[in-house]
Structure formats: C-alpha cells, structure tokens
Structure 1
Amino acid sequence: MEKVKSEVWFDDGDGDEDEDGYDAIVVGSGYGGSVAACRMSVAGIKVCLVEKGRRWESKDFPTDSLKIMSAVRIENRNLGISFGPKDALFQVYEQDDSLAAVACGLGGGSLVNAGVMLPTPIRARRNPKWPKEWERDWEICEASASTTLRIQSVPTKFPNAKVMGEMVGEEFEESCPGPVNLSVNFDIEEQPSSSVKSQGMGNCLGCGNCLTGCPYNAKNSTDKTYLVSAIQAGCTVKTECQVHYIVENLDYTCQKEKRSGRKRRRWLVYFNEIDYVTADFVILSAGVFGTAGILFQSQLRGLKLSERLGSGFSCNGNTVAYLAGSPAPLNAYGLDKNTFSKTPFEERPGPSISSSYTSSLGFTIQSAVLPIAYPYLLFKGITTYGWPPGFWFLHGVIDKLKHMLGPRASNAMILNAMGFDESDGKITFEKDANTICFRPPHDRLLPRKLEAFQKLTKKLGGILFMSRYRSTSVHLLGGCNASPDPSCGVCNPKGQVFDGKSQSSVYQGLYVCDASLVPCCIGINPCLTITTLAEHVSRHLVKDILMHKAKEGTISMDKFVDQRPGSITSMKLDSSLKSMVVFKETMRGYVRGMPCTAYLKLQMNSKTSKNLDGKSSLLGVSHPLLRGKVGGYVVFRALEVDKLHVIDGEVDLCEVDERTPYTQYMHYRLLLAASSGSRYLLEGKKVMNPYLFALYAWRETTTMHVTLKKVVMDNSKEEVVSLKGKLSISIVELLKCLRSLEGNLRGRFICLLVQTFFRTYVSQVPRGSQKDFHQSNFCQNPYPSSNLHRIQTDDGFIISCRQWKSNEKLCRVGGEKKLNPVLLLNGYATESYWLPTEPNDLVRTLLDEGHETWLLQPRLHPSNSSNNFTIEDIGRFDIPAVINMIRNLHGPLVKVHVVAHCVGGLAIHIAIMGGYVSLRPV
C-alpha cells in the first residue's frame, strides 16, 4: 500500500511518559494513596497518581439541594438501577438492608468528612487480627500523620456541643479529656509552614458545612497536605481517570515491548479495555470497594489471589439517626453566606463534629451538624422512620415548609454512632453485571445504639428519625485484610499482595495501601488510623522501590539535585474520540469444531507496535485510521470456563504483504488472559483475493481464519495448544457494528475502508513497491553463510551450485557418524527449496538436522546465459559434474542423497538410467 504522507494521531500531551512508564502508580488519593505518593515522590521516585474523580476547589462544592443532587451517584442493587455521574463527589450504594456512602475526588474521603482525628483505640490494637508488625513504629507513624495533616483542637464549644455535654449526663463517658481534634485550620497565623498560606488556606468560620466540602478552604484534606508535597517533588496526577484492572507483564508481553522500543515494566495498569500505562510498582488505594473491585477484575484476567479476597469486611459499627423538633438550642443546621455574616462565631454551628462520647458498652456517639445543601426530607421519612410513633412524616413536611417560607426551622442535629462489629462482612463481585456487591457484618451492639438514641431523644425532646437500614456506614474497612499468610488475608502486614505460591510469597511490586488492609473494626473515626497505616506501609514501599532501582541500575542522582514539580491533569479518555474511531464487532464460528464467539471493541487511529517498528516503515503501512488497538473478550467454553479477556490486541484492516501485492489482509492479533492464569494468542486474518470478479467478496470480508495458540512461558512443561477455525460476522451483527461507530472521523474511516475494497476487487492495483522489497526484511531466521561454486561440465558449459555447510555441533549430537550431504534439484520454472521470504523451507530444515546441503543451479537456471539445451543435457552433463565435485570434497566413499522436483526428478532418472552417474554414490 502507498505510504501515508500525513498521519493524525491522538496525543494526550503525556504520551512519552506513559510509553516509558513509571516507577510507581498510585490508584486513589485518599488517606492511603496520598501518603504513598508523597513519601515516594520525596524519595526521588517517578510516581503517577491516578484518581477516578475530579479536582474540587472550594468554590465548586455544592451549597444547595439542587447542586448536591448533581454531585451524587446512587447505585441501588435491590432495584438494579444506577443514576448520577460515575465520578460524582458522593457515591451511595444501597443493597438489601444496608447503605454505604463513599467520596470520589482528588483527596478522597477527606474532602467531605468531618476530619475527626482520634488515635487508634487500645481495644483495636489488642485484637488478635491486628498485625504485631504494625506496633513497632505505630507511634512514630501516627506522629508523622498528625503533623502532616496539621491536626488542631476545636478552640471553643459550639452550641450543639454544649447541649450534648449538659444533657448526656451519666449515660456516657467523654472519650477524651479535651476537645475533639480535627484536621481543620482554626488559626492559620499559628501555622509555621509557608505551604499553608501558599495554598490559599483559610480559617474555619464555623459554618457547619464540612460534610459537603469546605467552601472556605479551611479543611486540611489530603489534596492540600500530602498531595501538595508530592506534586512539588515531581509527582504526576491524573484525574477523571479510573483504573479498572491490572495485569502482570509476563515475558511474552515484555518481548513485544522490547520490539516496540518500550522500557520493560512489571505491571500493566488499564484505564479501560484498551488503554493502559506501565509501572514497576502499583499501589492500590482506591478505597475498600474500589481496591476490591480492581483486584476482582484482575483476578478474572489471571491474577492469582487469596480466597479471602472480600472477606473480613467491616462497617465500623456505623449507624446514624436524625433528631428534629428539639426545644434545646442545638443550632446544628449549616449556615448559608447571608445568614453566616450576621451570626457571631460562638453562636454558629461550628465544625460538623465537635463532641464525641464513648459508652462503657463499647460504642461511641457523636453529634453532627447537617449541611445546608443536604435535602432534609431524606432524613425525615424517606430513608428513616420516626420515633415515637405518630405523625412523624407530617412533621418533616411542615418543618421543610417552615424552612422554605422563612421562619427559622426547629432545632435538629445528626447522631452518629460507631462501635465494634464482628468484621465478618463480605464483598463479592458479579461477573455478568461487572459490579461490586456487599453484605455488612453482624453488629451485636446495634440495639444498644438505638436505645441510646432514644434516651437522648427523651432528654433533648423532639422526634427521632432512625435509619431504615441495618447498617448505614461511611467508614468502610477490610476486604483485603493484612495477615501473616494467605489463609487469613490478602496482603502481608507490609501491604504486599500474596501470590498464593507459598505461605509467604508475594507479587513483586503490587501493594495495597488504604482502609482495605485493616483486619478488624476500629470503633471510632478511622481517618488517623488509616493515615498512620499508610505511613507504615510507605516506609517499606520506598525501601523496596529504591532497592529495585539500585538492582536495575536506574537510580538517577539528578532527581535529587534538580527536582521538577509535577502536575495535575484531567484525563477524560472520551475526548480521544475526536481523532479516533471506536466500534464493536461480534464474530461467531467454530475453532476445531467447538463453538467460539469473539466480542471485540476496536479503537482505530491508535498507536500500535507497527508505528515503532522500523521494518514496517520500509514495507509501507496502511492508513492510521485502518490500524488500531483491540479490547473485549472471547467466549470459548471448551477451552476455558470463564471469558478470555483481551489484554493486548492490535488490528490492521489493510495489511501490507509484498509477496502477495494484489491481496488485502485484515489482520487481528489478540493476546488473551484467562482466570486460570493461562494466556493464549489468537491470530486471525480475513483474506481478500481479487478473483472471479469479487464473487466471494462478502464471504472473504466477513470470515476470519483464526489460529489459537497457548502461550507457554519459559521453563514450562505445559502442553502446547494450537487450534484452527473460522469466525464470521453476520449481516445483523454487521449492522450493529456500523451503528456502534463513534468518533468524529467515522465517515472518513468508512470511505477509506471502501476504497481498499475497490482497489482489491475492482481496480486491482497492487500494493507496495518492488523497489522497497528486500529479502532481509522477511528473514526472521537468516541462513548461514553459503559458498557459490562455479563448475565446468564435460561439454564446456559453466553451471553453479550453492553449498551450505552443516553445523558440526549438530552433527555430533547423534553420535560420531557424520550425516551424508544432500543434493537438491529444482523443477523447471520456480525455486522450490530455497525460499528466503518464507518462515521455513527445505534448506533450513536440512541444516537444522545437520545435513550439508547443495543446491544445483543447472543450465536452465535464470542466472546462467541462455543457450540451446535439452533436459537430457542436464542429466548427462550437469548432475554428474556436481556429484563428482561433492565426491572430490568428501572422498569417493561418500553417499549423496538426492531430492528432486518435477524436471529435476526427470533429469536424475536420465543421469542414473543413462549410465552417466553410478548408483553406488547416490
């Protein structure tokens, strides 16, 4: 095909870095991922942090009910429905009688939580499941976390804290002697760090809207603490980019990367079915549901994990209630900007949580302020039920009307209870729906918590709205529990993921660093515990990476001398459709007589290995819109029960082959991964020949000849699997394929594809150029050096014969007996034995067996001058001359094997039966 003069490639602006890969990729930016990114970046490691959500500024947080509805995504497993943007700030999961809520954005849960920072209780640290290794440096890591998060105590008692202190009485013991510590700035002038002011941090103004994101930039969330340091040290941050799964980069894939000029890395981190980035270390910190989901999907692609994945799930004994209509001056509604300026600081709601009380029964209750943006009716009858029984729902409607009409709404507040549940919940993965499901743990203290809520209601007055769900949690823990061996957990205490090969072996470079590691319930706000744990894991992580870099010889001292700051980039992959064409293709058929279906997603105009392959540029390549990457999966139940997922696929809809210039090929190359850990290579070609006036055009363009081979790793004793068959696309599936076309260049893509068909079947113009053709471009296994002998026959004609000497080492393998030479005689018109452009031929086969090989080029060969001769002259003069030369070199007793084709066979018969050659040496 003609070489393309101009190519339009999608460039995300960071392509070079992504192609080279990173030392480490951190998935998630909450209390776990931000710590890991910070500590690695400061140590001079090349880090990329990937966050599913967007970057939130203080002005972006919702300030009313309408805005917050657009910032919420709800996934109702009971009804099987989901609505709201996938990267919404609030992610709510409802399943059976349970509700779980998490945050999504650069900063994770620290963006919208209350920022309560309490030390890990002794009861949790004495739990038998708590790893002893964590205790060695726990206090040091906790101090480091407290300093970085700039924890401060609440400077004054706000109204709801005063009321709670007066009304609680003897029911509870105060959990700490002083005020609650928060990661909130109350007086910025006292902060010694200049980075605080440089980030535009403000003071807490006590508006009470912490749970929807601080509108005054006063919260020390991880994006303003750890991530600031990480970016200053060179960390690259990519937002709005979700990681779906990771795949181990085995030797087979690495060889492909070497061919394309990429640096070898351990792991492939996938953003979708097609796009990925490479790294030596992957740190999963996507939250309990996010991390478990990535590991479950990776497991379907061959990652061997502990059977305990998803087990040990805890909701931290969390449940909530809402107290409304109390005559007490709770003042626990968030303030808007208009009301806020008219209210003295001491009379404002204050931070969301400023009081905490722990019962001797083993649970903690905290009062919280309801942000102004929260829809009140959700807490007054829609997701709750009232106590005492009566017209509690009508109360919620009346109270909402009062609030809308202007009069101050009755005093109300949120009650948040935490305690020690059994940590026996379960996270599972639905393969068909591709979603996470969860079952909360048993909570024996739940009746006691509800009873405590009711006692408080009696003292404070009003109506108590209790959750309809058995578990309502914002503090999720576990699922990838840390333990000494894989029989009890998924990771070791350092955060390394077990590979299942032995009781202690782990995947090199794969870590978990978030709340998923916590093997038991904490019983209080777990933010400081998670951050402390991340500090502990990061210490071992940095040592591991630096040792790996030293071993590989890739440590650069320039990194420490001249550090360049990193960046924050929004990576909406959908924007690539401007220069790409994406469509789906479904093909069905039989492979070795067994049913097989391929569900493929093709992304054209994507860079493939051909673009970096110098050999392809010599041959000429098809238009970029006709080349691309392939994702999807193959269903082949006879071979693997689960789906065979495409982890590396390429397609060329108009492949160039200089040997058959009139034929068009659609070449598919798919590397498949199975949940069993096996990998397969599927090579498919649609072959379009310009014969019989395109009579078979439909069949040729819709039928793919496939070969499925099992990829056998080095030193493996597995049996090689090689199956052949055909897959085809029906007219219905073809129409679906056309309908699925996406991208601004889809019209151009169709025109180019039709043009290739026209050139193949109608105009029949050959592709490529003979000037660019050279046999060295195709010789994957070049011949050994050969000698060309000029021989004069008895009639005075000069002929030639090419000699390939045998490999002496191969000759000695079978013993001391030397193999006899072989003489090859071609037919009349073509070369039958020496085929340099083919992957194999008879000459290479004989040489591999250890035979010395001779190829006669008689007087009819094109290299010899034209003359008048007969076939009898070849048998009478040419063959005796070359046999005599072989005997002169090897001695008169040597035996010569003769392999002849067509006219060559007739010539050897003439030589023997005519008496020109003796039977003894042949």
Structure 2
Amino acid sequence: MKRLSKPFTQLQPEYDVIVIGSGYGGSIAASRFARAGLKVALLERGKEFQPGDYPDTLAEAEKEMQINADQHEARKNGLYDFHFSENISVFKGCGLGGTSLVNANVSIRPEERVFEDAAWPAAIRNNMQSLNEGYDRAREMLRPSPYPENQHGYPELAKTKAMRTAASHMQQPFHLADINVSFESGINHVGVEQQQCINCGDCVTGCNHSAKNTLIMNYLPDAVNHSAEIFCNIDVEHVARMADHWVVYYDVFNSERDKFKAPLLIVRAANVVIAGGALGSTEILMRSRLKGLEVSDTLGNRFTGNGDVLGFAYNCNEKIDGIGLGKLCNEAQYQPIGPVGPCITGIIDMRNQPRLEDGMTFEEGSIPAPMAAVINMSMLSLAGTVGVDTDGGFSDWLSECKEEASSLIQGPYCGATNKMQTFLIMSHDDGQGHLSLKNNRLNIEWPGVGEQPIFKTANDAMYQATTALGGTSVKNFTWNKMMRHGLVTVHPLGGCCMAEDAAQGVTDHMGNVFKGNAGTETHPGLYVLDGSIIPRPLGTNPLLTISALAERACKLIIARLGKTIAYDFPAVISKGTEPAVSVQFTETMRGFFSKTEKRDFAKAYELGQKECSPFMFTLTIQSEDIDTFCSDPAHRGYMAGTVIAPGLSAQPLTVSNGLFNLFVIDEAEPDLKKMKYQMQLNSYDGKAYFFYGYKSVENDAGFDLWKDTTVLYITVYEGKDASGEIAGRGILKIIPMDFATQMATVKALNAANTFESLTAIKIFSQFFGSNVVSTYFRKFF
C-alpha cells in the first residue's frame, strides 16, 4: 500500500516552511503552502496509518493506546492518545492526519452568534466574508454530505430512527448531519481511490474501508502531489529563533536514540506553522518559552472542552444496532443485525436558544468493534450502579433483566447492549481552563468545571431522550460527586488563543504568534494554526471551523510572502511510495578530532585528545529494501542523526543526506572491503560541513576483526561536499558498551508481520556474517 510519508533519513536541513502536526490546521497548511510553490516539510509525531492498518480487535487497540496524565508522560506514539486530569480529561488522535483518523467526521458550522463574541479579533468578527470563504474551501476539500438515507441502497438506521423519536418527544428539531464520509466508490478529487461506506460503525477506531474522508484522503495527498515532504515519528520539543530563520528541535520515535542519550536533532526554516492541537501546540510554545522565546503570558489560558458531555440510553425498548462490527461485517451469523452506519448521522439541534450559552448540539453515536466487549461488561455494571431507569413496572423490569442476561451470555450484539444509544453533546462551558508545565509535563487545571450549570442541563436532555426510548439513563461515570464531576472531552480548544494584542492572547487573527506581553508585534514567520487558537467554545463539532480558520490564514500568509495559490483539481493519481522491508539500527562512535592536523589520522587523534577536542556521533542507519541492499554491490543505507563536535559547533550538529555503504570492495585493493560513511553536518546557525569516514575490513597480519569493524577514520570538509577545504581529521571508535546497545537496536521496518520482520533481520545477519567469513576465514575454506 502506498505511503505518504518518507523515512526521516531523507529530511533535509532547511525548508521554506515547516509544519508541525498533521491535524486539520497542519494538513491544510502543508497543502496550501505546497500549492504556492514553497518547499514544505510536515513533521508528525504519530505513525502513518492507511486503510487496513487500524485495529479491529481490543488486543490490537490496546497496543495503540498511550496514556498521559498531569504527572505521567507516555513515551510512545500510539494512535489513541488519552490525557487524564483531575478535572477534565482529553481523548485525541495521534497519527498522520491527527484526530481526523478517530473522530466522527461531523462538519457543521457554529451559530453566527458565536462569532459576535469580543473574544474574536475584529478582523474576523467584522469581516465574516473572509471566514466564509475559508468554510467554502474546506468543504470543497473535505466533501461532507449527509447520510443518504433511503438512497443508493442505504436504509434508515436504527440509531437514527431512535434519535428522531427522542427529538419528537423533546419537541426539538432533528436533521441529518453533514459528515466527511464517501458514499460512492471511485478516484476522488486529489487522485486517491476511495470506497463507499459499508455502514460498519467503526469510524472512531479508524476506517479500514477507505470510506471516511480523513485528512489522508484529501489535504495530505494533495500536499504530497504538490511536492510537500511528510515525516512521521517526529517529536518536536521546541522552536527557537536564529538570525532570520527558525530552528526546530526534535527527536525521533522508534530510532532508539534515547538508549544512547543522544541530543535533539534540528531542522531550519524561514516559516514555521505549529499545528499540534490544543495540548500539543501549547506545550511546544511553553517549552520554547523556557528556551527564551518571548510569548504572551496568556499562553495556556482559555482552554475549553467545547462543553462536551457523553452519556448512554441503555437497554431501550427497540434495537439500536449501535455497536461497530469490525471484522464481523461479512460473517453470516451476524447478518440479522442491522447496519450500524457512520458513527454520527443524526442531530437534535438545540442551539437556537434565547441565550447563546444555553444552546447545545445533541448527537447520537456508535461504539467501535474493538471496544464492544469492554462496553458490554461496563454497561452491565454501570446500569445497575449509576443508571436511572426511565420506565417502571415489574413486567418492564423483568423484560430488561432478560435483555441484560442475553448480552451477558451472547455478547454485545444481542440484548440490552444492542439496545443502547450513545449520546454526545457539545455545549458552551465557561472556557476558563488553564494549561501549564509542571515537572516538565503538561498539566490541565480547571477546578469545578463539571459543576457548571450547562452540564446538568445537558445530562437532563440526555435523560429526556432516554425516556422517549424507554431505556436506562447512564451518565458519564466520572460525572458525580465522588469523582468531583470530572469531564471527558474529544474537542479540546484554546491555549494559544487569537486576540487583538499580546495582552489578550497568544496569536493574531491569522495565527501569527505575538512577541512579548503587550502590543501587536509578532514573531516573523511563526504561526499557530489549529484548535488551540480558537478563543471560546463553539457549541458544536469544531473541525470545520478549525479548517476554515486555517484556510483563511493560509491565504493571507501566502499573500504576505508574495506568492499566489491555485485551488483547482486537475486529474491526477495521488503520489506515494510502496515501502519495502528494510533493516534499521542505531550506532554511536566516539573519538577525537583535530582541526590542526589534516593529514595523518593517528596524529590527529592524539592531538585532538591533547586539545580536548572530542568528536561523537549517534546515527540511525536504514538499509534500502533488504533484497536490494544485499544484491547491490554498493550495499547502500541511509543515515540521519547528530554529531557532537565542539571544534565545529557549540551545539550538536544534525546529519542530512547521509549515505552508508557496508562491505564495498575497494577497486584499488580487491582484498580490502570498506564501510563508508558520507553525510552533511548542519549547525544551528546554518553552517554546513561534509563528513567522510571509512572502516577498513581486510585480512592482514593478525586477527583484528574487532578493530577493523569498530574503528572509523574520519575527514571533515568545509561546505556541503568533499570539494571544500579539509577542516580536520580524526579517529572514532565503538566502545563495547555502545556496541552491545547497538545490537539491541537492530529491527526491521515496514514488515507486515513478525515472520517477515525476523526474516529481514536474518537476511541482514547472514549478509554481515558471510562478509566477515569471506574476509577473515577465507584461507580455511
């Protein structure tokens, strides 16, 4: 399957624009800046998932869960990202495409009254035309549409019918939601092949059927079509200003660099767009402030959960079919179960209240298949402890007990759990949450948030809806006195809010970061474009508004840069690569280097030692696909990493364009094989050096296998290639402790399963071993 991302070994030292994060703001920025002809790199913390990669079972889903908390940080990048806090917890996605991979893809606009709030900058508040154009651009790319009920073979869904019943009982308007889902198969507007929705109900654990219009189906492939470069597993720590450029400091997941305590890597750009979401972008700016970046003291303020409330109507009178089917979609024994449908299809629209803050968007949902067994047992417990039955009578109780027994014995697709309606409400909290760094970890503080009156109103509305369905009302289990009315949000907003000036917010109307605590001066080329800049709750699903603001800002920024952008869709097949199985390992070597001695390696080593001029690198080496690597006489691999060399730079240098050759024959001496290292070294202030190193593997007098494979003779040149003057020479060595660590880093990349992974490592090991034997033991055979 084609992939949009590249190996991090291909990351270049400098770009016109670096985008950090690939949610709605980041993906739009990458697409639009690339369309404007700028050299763009997008750095994503998570992994790339394509249809077919998402978990279908609980065991698979557990491997993709990362748990963060105010006093705990997960050092992994699983797809399902939870941040638990005392007052309000957050769930979001972590992968290429951000939360679009795991949301319910509802694309609707807030009430117009939302934008009358003085919290919005006047440039938006007084000129809605520019934002309306942003909405139109976003809809053009995301292609939202309502579920085509009773058309093209799509029947009315049981959960939609139940929502209509509830709306009628509550005397509130009901309508089908615009959702980013494809209901037709074919090549889409950016050249990606999509399939029609099969009504499996598994939208929020990841669509395995190419039907959900996530960002990997539109903006991200569009960015790649226009030559943007995407890199995954990149964890950005902070940004810093250096002369007229920005320096982005980052680490790489799954490279094992942490085992060597290697320093952060860097990449430079004239413009940086931070788009890590309400939590991620705020944290990056906070870490940048600790490193000296001047940012408004309002950073972290006005965090909001968008008034999110979760609840359930359990054991209703009629079937709901609200549990996703996963791999069971085509199994005959489950055919009697009706189609689940996309996660959210229907809305009870309760927004148009006399007072804006009393309005709510009331939606139904589905539970994805990987969580089916967990929700089944949980609801059996919660219904009896915190649930409130909305209809009484002995016969009703007896019938409900029978349905619960059916779920307990036969599973979630039968009985009470199959008669469960999931509710999600978005409303207007007071938006007064606060984000901060404590003990170097992101912390959420919002005392008493769950006790705000709007949340009781929301729970009352869910009770009324449950009454109409004859079920047991089950609130979010953390919303009680014992749990201090804790909340859970899937729509975190704020933290880097836009405003008129730095005294009131962090960014201006186009996401440009204010410099300092007062006035309107901004950092040139530093932007935040995601949900973190939204200055108040929206009262409805925020993805379309985040997208509209990003579209609007990108148009203004591109004009500021003197560029233009075309929005057309010429016929095209989306670009991408078919990654082959390869092998990766990380290596550290240490030694000494002299800028004085430029001829003799041994003398340079001794002089460097006397002058206290150490030289150390930590490189992650990735082979070409394993078959090509072994068969190609050049035996190529690609490298990236860091170099610590105080004689060249006060800060660590970052490697780019690294080329590694393993056991290549020296044409001048056929009995001699070399391991070659060639790479560009890039300093934080923009200076470049070229590094060439080799290990001589030869069957000379004595048995010196360890020396030959662990001693590297290095030459450093001024400039980006070997045509420059020699800057110095030296020798690096692998110490036994580092070698042992290096062996533990060997892994296969892009393997479909464990067997394929082990096979690749076996082929690599055999290749290495056969070359050692042919060199040192040839005379015995």
Change (3 A) 1:16 1:320: closer
Is residue 270 from structure 1 mapped to residue 278 from structure 2 by the alignment? Answer: no
Q: Could you tell me which residue of structure 1 aligns to residue 436 of structure 2?
A: 428
Provide Cα deviations, 1:232-274, integer angstroms capped at 9, x if missing partner. Answer: 1000000111111111114xxxxxxxxxxxxx73333333742
* Identical aligned residues as a percent: 23
For residues 443 and 402 of structure 2, what CA distance do their matches in structure 1 show? 37
The answer for the alignment partner of 1:160 in structure 2 is 159
Partners of 2:740 and 2:562 in 1: how far apart?
46
Q: Which amino acid aligns with 2:12?
A: D
Residue in 1 that maps onto 2:713? none
User: Is the aligned partner of 1:280 residue 2:265?
Assistant: no
Post-superposition Cα deviations, 1:829-872, rounded to whole Å, max 9, x if no partner, equal xxxxxxxxxxxxxxxxxxxxxxxxxxxxxxxxxxxxxxxxxxxx
Q: Structure 2: 5+ residue runs without aligned partners?
A: 1-5, 150-155, 253-262, 391-396, 480-485, 566-571, 619-641, 654-683, 685-735, 746-781
Q: Which residue is 2:192 aligned to?
A: 199
One-letter identity of the residue aligned with 1:111: L
Superposed counterparts of 1:757-776, under 5 Å = none
Question: Which of 437, 449, 469 is the matching residue for 1:460?
Answer: 469
CA separation of 1:274 and 1:616: change in aligned 2, threshold 3 A = farther
Q: Which structure is larger by alpha-carbon Rg, 1 or 2?
A: 1
Classify 1:566/1:279 alpha carbon distance in 2 versus 1 (closer, same or farther; 3 Å).
Answer: farther
Task: Return the alpha-carbon distance in structure 2 between the equivalents of residues 491 and 345 of structure 1.
Answer: 54
Deviation at 1:163, TM superposition (A): 1.6
Amino acid at match of 2:204: L
Return 299-308 or 462-471, whichever deviates more. Answer: 462-471
* Maintained 8 Å contact 1:498/1:504: yes
- Match of 1:358? 349
How much does 1:435 deviate? 3.4
CA drift at 1:158: 1.4
Q: Once the 2 structures are TM-superposed, how far is the Cα of residue 397 of structure 1 from its aligned partner?
A: 8.3
Letter in 1 for 2:230: V
Q: Which amino acid aligns with 2:312?
A: Y
Q: Which residue of 2 aligns with 1:388?
A: 388
Residue 218 of structure 1 corresponds to which residue in structure 2?
Answer: 211
Specify the alignment match of 1:520 in structure 2.
536
Letter in 1 for 2:55: P
Shift of 1:213: 0.9
Equivalent residue for 2:420? 412
Counterpart of 1:186 in structure 2 is 183
| One-letter code aligned to 2:342 | P
Residue 555 of structure 2 aligns to a residue whose secondary structure is helix
Corresponding residue for residue 367 of structure 1? 364
**Distance in 2, Cα, partners of 1:565 & 1:203:** 18
Q: 1:566 to 1:206 in 2, by over 3 A?
A: closer
Instruction: Map residues 574-653 of structure 1 onto 2, 5 A cutoff.
Output: 578-581=586-589, 604=590, 617=598, 621-622=604-605, 627-628=615-616, 650-651=644-645
How far is 1:450 from its partner? 1.0
Give the match's secondary structure for 1:244.
Answer: strand
Task: Give the aligned residue type for 2:467.
Answer: K
Supply the distance in 1 between the matched residues of 2:471 and 2:219 (Cα, whole angstroms).
43
Q: CA deviation at 1:216?
A: 0.9
**SS of aligned partner of 2:31:** helix
Question: Counterpart of 1:41?
Answer: 34
Q: Which amino acid in structure 1 is aligned with residue 436 of structure 2?
A: T
Alignment partners' CA distance in 1, 2:413 and 2:536: 47
The answer as to whether partners of 2:274 and 2:529 remain within 8 angstroms in 1 is: yes
Please tell me whether residue 475 in structure 1 is matched to residue 481 in structure 2: no
SS in 2 for 1:303: coil
Partner residue, 1:87: 77
Contact conserved, 2:170 with 2:465, CA < 8 A, in 1?
A: no
Residue identity matched to 1:414: T
1:265 is matched by which residue type in structure 2?
H
Tell me by how many angstroms 1:86 deviates: 1.8
8 Å contact from structure 2 (residues 306, 427) kept in 1: yes
Contact 1:25 1:49 in 2 (8 A): yes
Q: CA 1:346 to 1:228, structure 2 compared with 1: closer, same or farther past 3 Å? A: farther
Deviation at 1:17, TM superposition (A): 5.5
User: Which residue of structure 2 aligns with residue 777 of structure 1?
Assistant: none
Residue 65 of structure 1 corresponds to: 58
Q: Is the 8 A contact 2:169 2:468 kept in 1?
A: no
Q: Is the 8 A contact 1:235 1:565 kept in 2?
A: no
Q: 1:330 to 1:744 in 2, by over 3 A?
A: closer
Q: Secondary structure at the match of 1:510?
A: strand
Q: Does 1:504 align with 2:520?
A: yes
C-alpha separation in 2, matches of 1:425 and 1:671: 38
Confirm or deny: 8 A CA contact 2:69 2:443 kept in the other structure: no
Whether the aligned pair in 2 keeps the contact of 1:87 and 1:104 (CA below 8 Å) is: yes
Question: Does 2:117 match 1:127?
Answer: yes
C-alpha contact 1:245 1:271 (8 A) present in aligned 2: no
Higher RCO structure (Cα 8 Å, ≥6 apart): 2
> Structure 2: how far apart are the matches of 1:298 and 1:90?
26
Within the alignment, does 1:495 sit opposite 2:511 as a pair? Answer: yes
Distance of aligned partners of 1:16 and 1:94 in 2 relative to their CA distance in 1, 3 Å threshold: closer
- The letter of the residue matching 1:171 is M
Cα deviation per residue 1:407-465 (whole Å; 9 max; x = unaligned)?
555411211011011111111111x2433434375643001111112222222123222
Aligned equivalents of 1:406, 1:502: Cα separation in 2:
58
1:309-331 C-alpha deviation (Å, 9 max, x unpaired): 00011100001012221122222
Q: Which moved more, 1:531-540 or 1:462-471?
A: 462-471
How far is 1:35 from its partner?
A: 0.3
What SS does the corresponding residue of 2:138 show, helix, strand or coil? helix
Letter in 2 for 1:200: E
CA distance 1:248–1:744, change in 2 (3 Å): farther
User: CA contact under 8 A between 1:236 and 1:568: conserved in structure 2?
Assistant: no
Query: Does 1:110 pair with 2:110?
Result: no
Partners in 2 of 1:417 and 1:163 — Cα distance? Answer: 16
SS for the counterpart of 2:524 is strand
- Where in structure 2 are the equivalents of 1:130-141 lying within 5 Å? 130-134=120-124, 135-141=128-134
Paired residues of 2:29 and 2:550 also in contact (CA < 8 A)? yes
Work out whether 1:330 is the aligned partner of 2:306.
no
Query: Matched residues in 1 for 2:241 and 2:473: separation?
Result: 52
Q: 2:237 matched to 1:237?
A: no
Q: 1:494 to 1:407 in 2, by over 3 A?
A: closer
Alignment partners' CA distance in 1, 2:35 and 2:500: 30
**Paired residues of 2:85 and 2:443 also in contact (CA < 8 A):** no
Q: Say how many residue pairs are matched.
A: 582
